[in-house]
Amino acid sequence: MHKKIRQYNLKANESAIFEPMEILDQSIAADVADKLLEIQAIRLQPEKPFTWASGWKSPIYCDNRLSLSFPEVRNLIRDHLVKCVSHFFQEVEAIAGVATAGIPQGALIANELGLPFIYVRSKPKGHGMENMIEGKVTPGQKVVVVEDLVSTGGSSLKAAEDLKNAGFEVLGMVAIFSYGFDVAAKNFADAGIKLVCLSHYDALLPMAVKMKYITPETLESLEEWRKDPGGWGQ
């Protein structure tokens, strides 16, 4: 028997209109961005950009797995993700983490809510049962997917599709951080899946200026990157 899903009074948009990408709460978004910068889970280097696996040059690198090493930040993120699930997806019956970084976050949420937990591999296990989904597969079960970071949404939505193919009903997805790319919003809208994040790029930039991680003069370049990440820095 799982715990009753709590309802929270939040300032998030409660319109019946489907919004593919939402933020839990603007004040929470700023606070989470602050904490991620403080522990260096997010790094900003516009003068010495990172190179992503896609080949894109990026002024930002985000590794939210670092939050797991800081109990105060880990618990803050867990509690806010629980709020996301409880407020937006009240019919949830199970939590699904996306391998690999979504697994610990998802397990923490499932434990807090007293719900079953499963996780989705990026590709089937190469031996044994060759599972794509680890844990008890219960067709018809209503599941919320957990990610740590969303960029274009491709791998996240693939995990959601794998869950649907296994017979689950995907209610939506929660994540710690999103870059807020237009292509991600389109991908989630096309898939008909709602994404709710704790924080995003728009909340990060003013916090980074306030904390003096970047100067106001670099803001324009950082804002341009989000508009055209593929062409930025070329």
Known binding-site positions? 121, 125, 127, 147-155
Quickly list H helices, 114-168: 154-165
Cβ pair 220, 212 in contact under 8 A: no
Cβ pair 175, 149 in contact under 8 A: yes
**Which positions ≥6 away from 49 have C-beta within 8 Å?**
57, 58, 59, 233
Token pair recorded at residue 170: 């995907």
Give the annotated binding-site residues for 5-phospho-alpha-D-ribose 1-diphosphate.
Answer: 121, 125, 127, 147-155
**Which positions ≥6 away from 96 have C-beta within 8 Å?**
106, 117, 118, 119, 120, 133, 143, 144, 145, 146, 159, 163, 168
Give the annotated binding-site residues for orotate.
Answer: 151
